[in-house]
A and B are shown apart, each in its own frame.
Chain A
């Protein structure tokens, strides 16, 4: 994994509303290698979707602002691009799948039209040609191509998500961002959709950011994993490192909250306390109020990123020399 497709540096994103400033993403840096799948994990409100929308240039107008940082796609900073140049990136170089397939498709347009739209935008071809390609895409995602004439309401939730995936992959993007692509679906259908996504990803060597709050999905699908909490990435490593040797107390707590078959469900660990409030973040460790391993340092200073092994880091005082001094 020598070359990176995407590299995010020092990204800070705020939502500014009349009442408050929400510090949704706080100084994150991330790299995604060509052809790799990065899992972005964290509870609701951690800033995962905000990170994805920043990459796409689709933060809500007027409210969402990138305060600082850079997002480079193959060396070119997306944040410096014009609106027009970003339209050429979206759908062609980077595609995004949103969480809720039930509302992601236009109810008054046929699915064939909705797939061929993205093809017509980015490829020089006739309408008929685009429609033929759209049918090919339908077949690829396991839907009878003849159904291109049908409207979204004629499909089930799982099939709608297949169509959304067909739209996202129609122009063979280099990077696919999938924001909780299966959260809204039944468990059995989740597995089918993930299988299909992995198959298509392997076929084309597409790089992928898979956003989820499900560590099980990360274990199944990903090469690397970044754990997000309170708008920060608190731990990063390969999936093996994060699973075999989790370092950050938040990551450890996430593991204990996964139900497993051989475990009594009633003893499932629930992370105590509330998710941090990004409109009112502390100046010290964001996870401090919920942390089971904190000591006196934690409520005074913000921890920094520490390498715990090659390619594996955590943002926690425990792995700094300062830790010994406190209690």
Chain B
């Protein structure tokens, strides 16, 4: 297991090199001069040139790239052009904010989605099943920011229950979490429903019935955990997507998270902040995926062998005719 974790963490190296290379490449082709941006339109050409030298912007891109990588290896993500503060120090509290919203959103989506999925599997082909399908599809097909705006209209503007923006109190977290959460319900519902239906058709469910077990305990004790295997897999993907989707919504809700930080930095051509934010998200995604993979072992004992043996493989279904 230890070796597996190390192996997965080593994967970070090429990923981070790749991500930073892409952003460096973008930096060379996007118009606009960060030095000019920092100093404003009143600055003279000499002042701008001096600033460019100071920031190392006159060196070849390759040199800048390796200088940056060397810094990152020492935990130095550079300083924000805008504030002059170390990027890492600015990022950490924003990461915490984004993490809370993402985790809350995924929890809302997963819990509601799994619940609805189980209900529609147990009531398959009835009106309950169809209703769940229609409602969850509705939330999935409307873009997140529209859902966000509608929720703001209802709960902030009309009912005054929740703030429209900012996270001064815990109430500020609710709308962003709900917005990201509800749009993923359909996904969880669909996966849970089909997984539950498949599991209920498995031979071991028939074995449980042959023991004289009740239907409700068959669902709870035999079907639920097996149903959760593909659901857990999609939680991993969803965590990543929610973190990414949060970028847009943090701006809609003016939440000071990593997403808004990166968006603001892009507008200001504040490259150290863009790079630092992007690298941080890449690191987090890799770590999240690792944690999800490891948590599979807890749900599905069959994976222990494959993971310890070196590769996280999906369990092969031994399905005989």
Interface residues of A (CB under 8 A from B): 56, 58, 86-92, 95-96, 98, 100, 102-109, 114, 117-118, 121-122, 151, 153, 164, 167-168, 184
The chain B residue sitting closest to A89, CB to CB, is B212
Residue of B nearest to A105 (CB): B204
Determine if A98 and B213 form an interchain contact, defined as CB atoms under 8 angstroms apart. Answer: no
> B204 is contacted by which of A86, A89, A95, A103 (Cβ under 8 Å)?
A103
The contact string, 1 if C-beta is below 8 Å from chain A, for chain B 285-300, is 0000000000000011
Q: Which chain A positions have C-beta within 8 A of B301?
A: 107-108, 151, 153
Candidates B207, B302, B315, B318; contact of A98 at CB < 8 Å: B207
Q: Does residue B100 face the partner (Cβ distance < 8 Å to A)?
A: no
Residues of chain A within 8 A (CB-CB) of B202 are 103
The 3 closest A-B pairs by CB, nearest first: A91-B212, A103-B203, A90-B212
Q: For the complex, is B210 an interface residue (Cβ under 8 Å from A)?
A: yes
Q: Complex formed: what's the CA distance from A86 to B203 in Å? A: 19
| Cβ–Cβ contact B204 & A106, under 8 A | yes
Q: How many residues of B contact A (CB 8 A)?
A: 25
Q: Whole-angstrom distance from the CB of A177 to the nearest CB of chain B? A: 9
CB distance from B82 to the nearest CB of A (A): 52
- The answer to whether B211 touches A106, judged by C-beta atoms less than 8 angstroms apart, is no
CB < 8 Å: which of A91, A105, A184 contacts B210? A91
Among B203, B212, B213, contact of A104 (Cβ-Cβ < 8 Å) = B203
Kindly state the separation between the CA atoms of A56 and B209 in the bound complex, as whole angstroms: 9
Q: Does B214 contact A (CB under 8 A)?
A: yes
B88 to chain A, nearest CB (A): 42
A106 interface neighbour in B214, B226, B320, Cβ under 8 Å:
B226
- Among A89, A109, A184, the residue within 8 A (CB) of B320 is A184
The residue among A58, A104, A108 with the most chain B CB atoms within 10 A of its own CB is: A108
Known: A98-B203, A98-B206, A103-B204. A122 touches B315 (CB 8 A): no
Is A100 in contact with B320, judged by CB distance below 8 angstroms? yes
B208 at the A interface (CB under 8 A): yes
The verdict on A58 contacting B320 (CB below 8 Å), with A103-B203, A153-B302 known, is no
Q: In the bound complex, how far is the Cα of B302 from the Cα of A96, in angstroms?
A: 26
* Smallest Cβ-Cβ distance to B202: which chain A residue: A103
In the bound complex, residues from chain A placing their C-beta under 8 Å from that of B204 are 103-107
Q: Which residues of chain A have C-beta atoms less than 8 A from B211's C-beta?
A: 90-91, 117-118, 121, 167
The 24 listed contacts between A and B (C-beta, < 8 Å) are: A58-B206, A58-B209, A87-B214, A90-B212, A91-B210, A91-B212, A96-B210, A98-B210, A100-B320, A103-B203, A104-B204, A106-B208, A106-B226, A107-B204, A107-B302, A107-B315, A108-B226, A108-B299, A121-B211, A121-B212, A121-B213, A151-B302, A153-B301, A167-B211
Most buried by A among B204, B207, B213: B207
Query: Which residue of chain A has the shortest Cβ distance to B215 in the bound complex?
Result: A83
- B305 and chain A: residue at smallest CB distance: A153
Q: For the complex, is B160 an interface residue (Cβ under 8 Å from A)?
A: no
A48 to B92, CA, bound (A): 67
Pair A117/B213 contact, Cβ less than 8 Å:
yes
Instruction: Confirm or deny: B319 has a beta carbon within 8 angstroms of a beta carbon on chain A.
Output: yes
> Is B67 an interface position by the 8 A CB rule?
no
B51 contacts chain A at the CB level, 8 A cutoff: no
Residue ID in chain B nearest A119 by CB atoms: B211
Interface check B222, CB cutoff 8 A: yes
B314 is an interface residue with CB less than 8 A from chain A: no
Alpha-carbon gap, A23 to B213, bound state (A) = 29
Instruction: Tell me if B225 counts as interface (CB < 8 A to partner A).
Output: yes
* Minimal beta-carbon separation of A10 from chain B (angstroms): 25
Within B210-263, the residues touching A (CB, 8 Å) are 210-214, 221-222, 225-226
Complex contacts, B214 vs chain A, CB 8 Å? 87
**Which residues on B sit within 8 Å (CB–CB) of A121?**
211-213
Q: Are A90 and B302 within 8 A (Cβ)?
A: no
A56, chain B: closest CB distance, angstroms: 6
How many Å lie between the Cα of A103 and that of B320 in the bound state?
A: 8
CB-defined contacts of A95 to chain B, threshold 8 Å: 210
Residues of chain A contacted by B222 (CB below 8 angstroms): 106, 109
For A114, what are the chain B residues with a Cβ–Cβ distance below 8 Å? Answer: 207
Give chain B nearest CB distance to A190 CB in angstroms.
Answer: 15
